[in-house]
């Protein structure tokens, strides 16, 4: 008998592993299938707390993982795409959406899913070998693994025959189900186990298995489910540890939401559980009817999360203020200037989220190089040697920052490329690689202009007022090009016309040619010396070259 229990125990562990793997495979496949759409839904369909909640519910039902939705939400908050109040609403919806998992599991214990599993495997393996449908094949495989694990768990539960094992029955019977201490103990057990295995689905499966055999009383099973709700928040909080304050606040709000729900349910535990049991037609004080217990657990899970959301959805502003009070913004300390703002390695969950973070970081990079050009404009006007040197050193540091930003973003994109990417995502990664290379070249051009101006400072060679006026025209055009570049970088590719950039670049080229011709004529006419003319033309040429880099960035961004 002992040998039999060991064998069945190993089968249960294997089935749980298969369940976790199947759900993750299904979740990742769906995120790859609908990554851009999910990203659009989360970022756009959160105009108010109700739509935010419904969005979280829909997305979680789709990807079958509240952890995936919550991590996506935390990542979007970190990237500045969602506000904290929007994130809280989405997380509330995610808690409702995850109740579908419990219903699927209860179905697995009451319906023979074998007839679904094997056709899903067969169709899935065909689709996997077709490039166009490989993610759909992965999704079917994930569903098949999940259903197969439920069949295995159901069979293992029947094989264990725990309801006729006197030792096991007496062990669970020794717990006083009418004692709050017992309920709290099982709640803590559910929390700890979920935190350890990082899968509320696995712990829910164990709970349903024990309840379906009749050895675990419904009150203790529900206490475990409540613990799972708290334990599942550990994933988002761990992910947010290295993120910014807003992301940590979103993860904390997830924890507080579930803790609050557990507290009010504990205050009315027995009446609430009895009410849920009556909905299903189950009497918790009567033996038997074990086939209804999985449905009772699923019903409680749904009632708990829906009621908790109805209570708190009107208090989102208060929750936001509370988490902001618990996690105040730290005073800004001196940090390394090249530190990446939107990219955090521990937030890399799916390629789509990672690409989004890299796009935000690249847009920030573009803004930074325009600031470098602004320093060049200041240098052009500055004649005081001490102030000039201070500005020059600052620009030199900024140029060093652009080098480090390029390397930091490139390394992150290399990590993203190690994943199994869709063709669209591969294209985005290639575009960003090109963008950061050209942006770093703009930083180099700014530094080259600073060095030319430093040469002016050291050689005591200065431009004439007329040359300054002409150069300011070129500077203005170049700054317009950078401004247009940043407009493109911050928006969606379909919203912009590359001809706007081409027009500015064409004007820059025409102006440069005219200034070169005028310069040759002026030097020949002895209006100023050759050294002054060279200084002027070097600055003009750098502006024109910088404009070429801007065009390259915009072309990469628009996929040209």
Of the candidates 27, 290, 13, 28, the one whose C-alpha atom is nearest the C-alpha of residue 149 is 13
- The Cα 482–Cα 367 span in angstroms is 9
CB neighbours (10 Å) of residue 484?
Answer: 18
How far is it, in rounded angstroms, from Cα 139 to Cα 195? 26
Residues in contact with 189: Cβ distance below 8 Å, sequence separation at least 6, in sequence order: 224, 227
Sign of the CA dihedral running 253, 255, 259, 262: positive
pLDDT at 405: 87
Q: Which pLDDT score, from 0 to 100, does residue 288 have? A: 60
- Mean pLDDT per segment of 10 residues, for the chain of length 560 residues? 64 75 70 60 63 75 63 68 79 82 70 72 81 78 76 68 63 77 88 77 76 79 86 73 74 87 88 86 70 82 88 86 82 50 59 77 90 90 84 89 87 79 79 91 91 84 85 91 88 75 90 90 86 88 91 86
pTM of the complete model: 0.63
CA distance linking residue 66 with residue 232, whole number of Å: 8
What's the confidence (pLDDT) of residue 1?
47
Two tokens at 131?
A: 């490039």
CATH numbers and ranges of domains, the chain: 2-164+177-326 (no CATH), 345-557 (1.20.58.220)
Q: Quote the CA–CA distance of 293 and 304 in Å, as a whole number.
A: 16
């Amino acid at each position: 008998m002992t040998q039999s229990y060991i064998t069945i125990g190993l089968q249960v562990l294997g089935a749980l592993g298969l369940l976790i793997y199947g759900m993750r495979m299904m979740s990742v496949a769906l995120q790859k299938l609908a990554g851009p759409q999910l990203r659009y839904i989360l970022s756009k369909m959160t105009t108010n707390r109700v739509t935010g909640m419904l969005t979280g519910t829909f997305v979680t039902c789709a990807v079958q993982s509240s952890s995936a939705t919550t991590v996506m939400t935390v990542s979007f908050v970190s990237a500045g795409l969602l506000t904290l109040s929007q994130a809280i609403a989405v997380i509330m919806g995610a808690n409702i959406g995850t109740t579908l998992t419990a219903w699927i599991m209860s179905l697995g214990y009451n319906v023979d899913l074998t007839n679904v599993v094997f056709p899903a495997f067969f169709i899935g393996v065909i689709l996997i070998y077709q490039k166009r449908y490989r993610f759909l094949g992965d999704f079917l495989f994930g569903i098949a693994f999940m259903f197969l694990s439920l069949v295995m768990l159901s069979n293992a539960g029947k094989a264990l025959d725990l309801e006729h094992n006197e030792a096991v029955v007496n062990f669970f019977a020794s717990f006083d189900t009418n004692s709050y201490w017992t309920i709290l103990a099982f709640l803590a057990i559910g929390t700890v186990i979920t935190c350890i295995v990082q899968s509320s689905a696995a712990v829910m499966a164990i709970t349903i298995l024990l309840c379906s055999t009749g050895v675990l009383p419904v009150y203790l099973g529900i206490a475990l489910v409540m613990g799972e709700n708290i334990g599942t928040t550990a994933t988002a909080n761990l992910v947010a540890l290295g993120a910014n304050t807003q992301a940590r606040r979103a993860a904390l709000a997830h924890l507080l939401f579930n803790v609050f729900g557990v507290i009010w349910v504990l205050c009315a535990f027995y009446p609430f559980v009895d009410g849920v049991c009556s909905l299903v037609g189950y009497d918790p004080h009567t033996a038997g009817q074990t086939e209804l217990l999985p449905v009772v657990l699923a019903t409680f899970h749904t009632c708990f999360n829906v009621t908790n959301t109805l209570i708190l959805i009107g208090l989102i502003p208060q929750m936001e203020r509370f988490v902001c009070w618990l996690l105040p913004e730290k005073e800004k300390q001196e940090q390394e200037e090249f530190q990446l703002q939107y990219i955090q390695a521990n937030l890399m969950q799916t390629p789509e989220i990672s690409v989004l973070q890299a796009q935000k970081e690249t847009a920030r990079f573009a803004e930074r190089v325009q600031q470098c050009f602004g320093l060049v404009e200041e240098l052009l006007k500055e004649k005081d040697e001490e102030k000039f040197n201070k500005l020059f050193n600052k620009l030199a540091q900024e140029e060093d920052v652009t080098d480090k930003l390029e390397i930091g973003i490139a390394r992150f994109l290399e990590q993203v490329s190690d994943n199994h990417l869709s063709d669209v995502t591969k294209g985005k990664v290639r575009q960003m690689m090109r963008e950061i290379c050209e942006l770093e070249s703009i930083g180099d051009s700014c530094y080259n202009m600073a060095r030319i101006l430093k040469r002016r400072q050291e050689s005591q060679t200065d431009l004439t007022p007329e040359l300054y006026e002409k150069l300011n025209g070129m500077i203005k055009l170049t700054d317009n090009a950078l401004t247009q570049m940043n407009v493109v970088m911050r928006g969606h590719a379909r919203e912009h016309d590359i001809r706007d950039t081409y027009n500015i670049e064409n004007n820059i080229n025409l102006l440069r040619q005219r200034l070169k011709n005028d310069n040759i004529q002026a030097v020949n006419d002895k209006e100023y010396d050759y050294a002054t003319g060279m200084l002027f033309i070097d600055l003009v040429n750098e502006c024109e070259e910088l404009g070429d880099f801007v065009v390259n960035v915009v072309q990469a961004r628009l996929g040209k």
